[in-house]
Amino acid sequence: MDTQIIAETKALKLIVRYSQLEGLMREHTEAIGQQYYNCISAQVGPRSMWEGEVTTHLSKWYGKTIERGVPVNSEEVCSHCHQAHQTVLARKKLRRQLGGVKGAMFKLGKEFDV
């Protein structure tokens, strides 16, 4: 098989995977927002929810974890915030995968000067 055809096939596969990962990350981000919205302790601060001034179980949990340097009991977090946390962790994995795809795209582009 010609190297140009192999490169084009790899490029198409990378583009498809990139698109899939971007879609999954968007879905995860929307799911996190919905879980925050469903939190029973959600309180919007002086700014709007979209500017990051929302107090939820999870924001309190993260704050305590950062302040103390130790994880907080999961009993302190409602089921919505727990699910949001799990989705955040899953989205982090997707970001790492997306970085790998971007790196492979860059490497492929350097191999074939068009």
pLDDT at residue number 47:
43
Give the model confidence (pLDDT) of 74-98 as tens digits: 566 678 888 888 898 999 999 999 9
Q: Answer left, alpha or beta for residue 31, where phi above 0 means left and psi between -120 and 50 means alpha.
A: alpha
pLDDT band of residue 40 (cuts 50, 70, 90) is: low
Residue 40 sits at φ, ψ, to 5 deg, of -70, -20
Residue 74, both tokens = 């999961």
Q: Answer left, alpha or beta for residue 96, where phi above 0 means left and psi between -120 and 50 means alpha.
A: alpha
Which residues, 6+ apart, have CB-to-CB distance to 60 below 8 Å?
Answer: 41, 76
